[in-house]
Structure formats: structure tokens, C-alpha cells
């Protein structure tokens, strides 16, 4: 446990280093599939984290501001379900903007444990929260939250509230979401509360625009994956030779993002060569859209009970409170 302890801004460990060549392995595996794909977690290097913050400011990208407004309106009610001395455990904390809404409304929170794969974003956020909430114990974890993990020792003995905003759970397939929710229930423990943000199904045009914005920030965010493979894995991707595509997959209730090869080409990366046919795509991300009822069923399959919900009508988005 000791290695997770936080003092000042000293992060516990280098998650990427501990995983060894996982990025290279995942790239080789993903580019070898009939439908080429990469796990979306690799978006979030320092540059990708910055681009994601820019996405959150876009006119077309409604989830961030909609959820912030929802949380603001629900803050007093949310505070009532947070026990005295609680530890708030956040999955994929990024810049911890939404956390502040909860912390401001719930001064009874004693420990904040943000988990994020981007070391730089996590260090900056942990430092800023530490400065602005001096009474709070901040115990950051530089980890991929999709991996099995242990909570920081600072959480021990505190009532636990999980926080997973942003509809990041929409990155998972239903099976992955069930398995994540099951793992989170074991991690957070019996009786824990879990606040989860979920983006809701809405007209296709609004969904597609949110993932294919006019300024091209989402395109740059996707192409940063190619740039990252060039930087870190000796790749030679020509960013101009790929086009960003966002599609609504109605059958699966998800927005899909793809990088489409503009021509037939061979690309070298991670010591291998991969062929792309003209029009062939690299599938970079799924963003599932839910109904509250459908999500409640999914959560129930992982042992969680839907206790409360706060939803907005337009754009449709919900924050739900699950109970283990």
C-alpha cells in the first residue's frame, strides 16, 4: 500500500513502465486484426489529454457542459448521499473539473483518490486540488482504471463513494462495462455508492456532430494516436493520408470513430509493416449511448442497484447513483 501514498505531488509509480511494452503490444495486436483497432486509452498522452480538454469546450461537444450543469443542480442532493469522512474515488479523473463541484458541495469528503492513466494530467490535477482543498487528503493513482487495482491506503477505513463522470463508461462494450462495473463493486466495497455519468441516446445528427466538430479538434485528437505511434514506436504514419470519420451505429447504440486510409499504403510501426487498403479504417473508439433503464439493467448484472438519477432532457444526459 505504501507506494501509493501521496505527499506533495509525488506520484506513486510509472504505470506505463510497469506494464512494459504494452503500447507496442497493443498496437501490433490491434493493427493485425481484420478490423484494425486500438484501445481508446492510448489517446491520453500529454498532448491527447490537452486535446481532450479542448474537445470539452467545443460548441458541438455537449456532454461536458451538460453534465457540469446537472452536477451543479444536483450538488445538494448528491452531498446528502455522501457520508461523513467519505473517500471519493474517481476513475479517469483528467483535470478534475467535475470533482470540484462535488467537493464544494460536500466538505465532509476527507480523502480524494483520483485514478488516471495520464501521469501529467493527474499530477497537475492532484496538485491543484491539494492547493485548493487543504483539509483534503489527496491520494492519486497513476493507473489504467480498466486494470485490476488496489485502492490507496489513505482510503482504508473511510466510507467509499466512486465517481465516474463524463460517460467514459461508454467507451466499453456492454461486456467490458459489466466486467468494469463488477470490478469497481469489488474495489469500492459493500455498501459503496457510485456516481456514474452516462450519455443518453439522442438524434443522430447531434451525436455525429459531437464527434466530428467543425474546427477539427476531434479529428486532431484521433490523429494524435498516429502521431503518438510515430513518436513512441518509431512509426511512419502520414497524418494527411488518414481522414477522421464519426458514424452512428444504431444497432449497437454507439458512435464509432475511425481513421480512414485515403489511399492504399503500407505503414511501419513497432518494427512491423501494416497494409491499409484505400478506404480501410482503424477503429479508434466507441462511445455508447444509453437509456437510464438500459444502463440500470447493465449495472444490475454487475451487482449494482440504481438508487437515484438526475437527468437532463436536452441535450439528454444522466448522472446516476448506484449502490453496491
Positions in the binding site for ligand AVJ (CB under 6 A) = 55, 63, 166-168, 170-171, 211, 218, 221, 285, 287
> Shortest gap between Cβ of 159 and ligand AVJ (angstroms)?
27
How far apart CA 180 and CA 297 sit, in angstroms, is: 15
CB of 49 to ligand AVJ, least distance (A): 11
In the bound state with ligand AVJ, the residue whose beta carbon lies nearer, of 12 and 243, is 243
Nearer to ligand AVJ, 109 or 199 (CB): 199
Whether the bond into 162 is cis, omega within 30 of 0: no
Burial, 165: exposed, middle or buried (Cβ in 10 Å; 0-12, 13-18, 19+)?
buried
When the beta carbons of 17 and 250 are compared against ligand AVJ, the nearer one is 250
Q: From the CB of 172, what's the least distance to ligand AVJ, in Å? A: 9
Question: Which residue in 76, 295, 68, 41 sits closest to 178, CA to CA?
Answer: 295
Closest CA to 255 of 164, 167, 147, 145: 167
Q: Which residue has the cell 448521499?
A: 81
* Rounded least distance, CB 194 to ligand AVJ, Å: 17
CB 219 to ligand AVJ: min, Å: 10
3: cell is 507506494
Which grid cell sits at 95?
483535470
Least Cβ distance, residue 101 to ligand AVJ (angstroms)? 17
Is residue 298 within 8 Å of residue 177, measured between CB atoms? yes
- If the CB atoms of residues 142 and 155 are measured against ligand AVJ, the closer one turns out to be 142
Q: Write out the E strands in the chain.
A: 36-37, 87-91, 111-116, 137-138, 141-142, 160-164, 193-199, 242-249, 254-261, 265-269, 272-276, 281-288, 305-312, 317-323
Residues 69-100, buried b or exposed e (16+ Cβ, 10 A)? Answer: ebbeebbeebbeebbeebbbbbbbbbbbbbbb
Q: Interior CA angle at 245 toward 241 and 247, to 5°?
A: 160
Q: Considering beta carbons, is residue 274 or 288 the nearer one to ligand AVJ?
A: 288
Question: Toward ligand AVJ, which CB reaches closer, 130 or 224?
Answer: 224
**What is the closest distance, in whole angstroms, from the C-beta atom of residue 145 to ligand AVJ in the complex?**
12
* For ligand AVJ, the closer CB: 4 or 61: 61
Distance between CA atoms of residues 292 and 282, nearest Å? 31
Closest residue to ligand AVJ, based on beta-carbon distance: 287
Closest to ligand AVJ by CB, 130 vs 171, is: 171
CB of 285 to ligand AVJ, least distance (A): 6
Amino acid at each position: 500500500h505504501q507506494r501509493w501514498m501521496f505527499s506533495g505531488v509525488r506520484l506513486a509509480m510509472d504505470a506505463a513502465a510497469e506494464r512494459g511494452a504494452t503500447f507496442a503490444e497493443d498496437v501490433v495486436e490491434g493493427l493485425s486484426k481484420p478490423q484494425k483497432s486500438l484501445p481508446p486509452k492510448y489517446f491520453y498522452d500529454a498532448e491527447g489529454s490537452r486535446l481532450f480538454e479542448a474537445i470539452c469546450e467545443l460548441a458541438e461537444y455537449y456532454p461536458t457542459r451538460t453534465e457540469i450543469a446537472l452536477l451543479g443542480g444536483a450538488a445538494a442532493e448528491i452531498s446528502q448521499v455522501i457520508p461523513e469522512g467519505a473517500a471519493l474515488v474517481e476513475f479517469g479523473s483528467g483535470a478534475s473539473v467535475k470533482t470540484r463541484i462535488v467537493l464544494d458541495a460536500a466538505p465532509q469528503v476527507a480523502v480524494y483518490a483520483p485514478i488516471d492513466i495520464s501521469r501529467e494530467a493527474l499530477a497537475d490535477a492532484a496538485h491543484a486540488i491539494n492547493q485548493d482543498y487543504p483539509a483534503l487528503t489527496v491520494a492519486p493513482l497513476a493507473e489504467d482504471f480498466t486494470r485490476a487495482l488496489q485502492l490507496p491506503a489513505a482510503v482504508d477505513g473511510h466510507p467509499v463513494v466512486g465517481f465516474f463522470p463524463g460517460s467514459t463508461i461508454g467507451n466499453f462494450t456492454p461486456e467490458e462495462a459489466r466486467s468494469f462495473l463488477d470490478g469497481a463493486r469489488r474495489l469500492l466495497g459493500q455498501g459503496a455508492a457510485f456516481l456514474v455519468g452516462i450519455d443518453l441516446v439522442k438524434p443522430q445528427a447531434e451525436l455525429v456532430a459531437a464527434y466530428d466538430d467543425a474546427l477539427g479538434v476531434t479529428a486532431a485528437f484521433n490523429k494524435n494516436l498516429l502521431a503518438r505511434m510515430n513518436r513512441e514506436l518509431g512509426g511512419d504514419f502520414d497524418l494527411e493520408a488518414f481522414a477522421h470519420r464519426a458514424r452512428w451505429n444504431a444497432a449497437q447504440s454507439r458512435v464509432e470513430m475511425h481513421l480512414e486510409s485515403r489511399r492504399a499504403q503500407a505503414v511501419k510501426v513497432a518494427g512491423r509493416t501494416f497494409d491499409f487498403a484505400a478506404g480501410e479504417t482503424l477503429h479508434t473508439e466507441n462511445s455508447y449511448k444509453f437509456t437510464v433503464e438500459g444502463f440500470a439493467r447493465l449495472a444490475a448484472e454487475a451487482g449494482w442497484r440504481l438508487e437515484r438519477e438526475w437527468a437532463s432532457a436536452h441535450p439528454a444526459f444522466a448522472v446516476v447513483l448506484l449502490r453496491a
